[in-house]
Amino acid sequence: MRMIDIIEKKRDGQELTKEEIYFVIEGYTNGDIPDYQMSAFAMAIYFQDMTSSERVNLTMAMVESGDQIDLSDIKGIKVDKHSTGGVGDTTTLILAPLVASVSVPVAKMSGRGLGHTGGTVDKLEAIEGFQVEIDGKTFNELVNKNKLAVVGQSGNLTPADKKLYGLRDVTATVDAIPLIASSIMSKKIASGADAIVLDVKTGSGAFMKDIEGAKELAHAMVQIGNGAGRNTIAVISDMSEPLGFAIGNALEIKEAIDTLKGQGPKDLEELCLTLGSQMVYLGGKAETIEDAREKLIEVMKSGKAIETFKTFVAAQGGDDSVIDHPEKLPTASYTFEVEAKQDGFVSEIIANEIGIAASVLGAGRATKESEIDLAVGLVLNKKVGEQVKKGESLVTIHSNREDVTDVVEKIYHAYGISEQTVDANPLVYDIIY
């Protein structure tokens, strides 16, 4: 087989065989196929698209390019959740203990991330003593015992994706649905999931800015997941304004604790119930989605969900007293209120701008090497649709520096205030099976 013939075949819009796709991915991973040929190949896919079976083969070739996590020692159906990323998205921290409370095993591998705040692993490290580096055997044992454990990413997962993503980034081939969908799904499948619930976000704070694009990506990923033998469902959710109130690492831990107790922001709670009921259903612990939802509401009300979180934190070496005493979490030295300049209704909160404001405070990483400040961040006091009076606080800034002029400016830029009443966007647009 020759790479040039495969590029030509794709360029001319023909369907590639499984053998051809594996030849490309294996050759690119081990260095036999150079970047320039792979660039041409990615561009051919960009213009010619891929059929369903090509997408599944591309995904599985990338899965098999590196290590695959073996979760077979864990009893039950392992359901993983993946979000395409947003601002203040605290859902993992809530969903994991929530669905574990109804006996769905959650074996979560999480990253640190380069977003506006840290990833799930960074957030958990806001809890004194919490250990994310645990070996595979301990990890499996913890999931069997408590139904929940979180481990930091390690090993050599999907090296083909890593290499190809880097190349796509500099060759204008990131925005190709078959490439995005196979990239995301290869990582989920290599992490050992039996079933997958995807949260595909749309809006200013999301990777896919418009609903049509989000739906197309969701359909592509669901088709790949099901084609690869993993039951997959996608929820299309809104990310035009940030989710919940808190954006920041320790602040989001506190928000997760509140939500697990049934005292969190309503939008965040609702999205967690929507995603969670899909997870419980796929995990085989409920007959219907409605039944699953009722079970989740029950564990929130009874206190079982927060107990599961406590047990999980203690099992990984963390100080579980923070759950009853969230004031023990890292706290910033200063708080500042950003006050409304006029009466009216909040008409928009540009999620991406709020994310950047949190990031410049130090809540996120600019580069892989940067340190995050776990204490800092923002708490939104007004969300879209709410009435506001001049002088009322829109946002509370938690900062470790005294001058936050730049952050205040970004927040004013993100907030729109109108004289007329405004409806918030729907939280969930669609669910794709």
Q: Would you give the distance in Å from CA 132 to the centre of its chain?
A: 18
For 228, the token pair is 């690869």
Q: Is 289 helix (H, G, I), strand (E, B) or coil?
A: helix
Percent helix, strand and coil across the chain, each rounded to 5?
A: 45, 15, 35
How many angstroms separate the CA atoms of 329 and 326, rounded?
6
Count of CB atoms within 10 A of residue 338's CB? 24
Q: Which stretch binds ligand URA (CB under 6 A): 61-69, 178-186, 269-277, 296-304?
A: 178-186
| Candidate residues 142, 151, 184, 397; the one interacting with ligand URA per rule CB under 6 A | 184
Query: Smaller CB distance to ligand URA: residue 73 or 169?
Result: 169
Instruction: Please tell me the distance from the alpha carbon of residue 53 to that of residue 46, in angstroms, as a whole number.
Output: 16
Tell me the site size for Ca ion, rule CB under 5 A.
Answer: 4
Does 210 participate in catalysis according to the annotation? no
Question: Phi and psi (nearest 5°) for 409?
Answer: -60, -45
The stretch near ligand URA (CB under 6 A) out of 13-21, 87-95, 179-187, 408-416 is 179-187
Residue 138 DSSP SS3: helix
- Interaction of residue 359 with ligand URA, rule CB under 6 A: no
- Nearest approach, Cβ of 317 to Ca ion (angstroms)? 25
Please pick, among 65, 83, 183, 237, the residue that the annotation labels catalytic: 183
- Could you confirm whether 112 is annotated as catalytic? no
Binding partner of residue 88 among Ca ion, ligand URA, none, CB under 5 to 8 Å per kind? Ca ion
**Which amino acid does the sequence have at 309?**
F
Q: Which is nearer to ligand URA, 62 or 338 (CB)?
A: 62
Q: Is 183 in the site for ligand URA (CB under 6 A)?
A: yes
Q: How far is the CB of 180 from ligand URA (least distance, A)?
A: 4
What torsion do the CA atoms of 55, 58, 62, 64 make, to the nearest 10 degrees?
A: 110
Q: Tell me the residue number closest to Ca ion, measured at CB.
A: 244
Closest distance to Ca ion from the beta carbon of 243 (Å) = 5
List the x/- string, 262-281, binding to ligand URA by CB under 6 A: --------------------
CA–CA separation, 398 and 415 (whole Å): 18
| Member of 165, 336, 412, 429 binding ligand URA (CB under 6 A) | 165
Q: Which does 183 bind (CB under 5 to 8 A by kind): Ca ion, ligand URA, none?
A: ligand URA
Instruction: Specify whether 187 is catalytic.
Output: yes
**Smaller CB separation from ligand URA, 157 or 322:** 157
Candidate segments 82-90, 97-105, 173-181, 361-369, binder of Ca ion by CB under 5 A: 82-90
Residues 190-209 that bind ligand URA (CB under 6 A): 207
Identify which of residues 47 and 334 has a Cβ nearer to ligand URA in the complex: 47
Tokens of 345: 């209704």
Q: Of residues 116, 168, 230, 382, which has the active-site annotation?
A: 168
Q: Which residues from 210-269 bind Ca ion, rule CB under 5 A?
A: 244, 246
Span of 113-121, 180-188, 218-226, 261-269 interacting with ligand URA by CB under 6 A: 180-188
- Residue 98 and residue 272 in contact, taking contact as beta carbons nearer than 8 Å: yes
The residues, ordered by sequence, that sit 6+ positions from 325 with a Cβ below 8 Å of its Cβ are none
User: Among the options 112, 187, 201, 410, which is catalytic?
Assistant: 187
Burial of 1-11, coded b for 16+ CB within 10 Å and e otherwise, reads eebeebbebbe
How are strands ordered across the β-sheet holding 344-349? 387-388, 344-349, 415-418
E strands of 250-323, at which residues?
A: none
77, with CB counted inside 10 A (0-12, 13-18, 19+), is middle
Sign of the C-alpha dihedral computed for residues 25, 112, 210 and 202 taken in this order:
positive
Verify whether residue 123 is a known catalytic residue.
no
168 is catalytic: yes
180 interacts with ligand URA by CB under 6 A: yes
Residues with a catalytic annotation lie at 82, 161, 168, 183, 187
Which chain residues interact with ligand URA by CB under 6 A?
165, 174, 179-180, 183-184, 207
Which chain residues interact with Ca ion by CB under 5 A?
88, 90, 244, 246
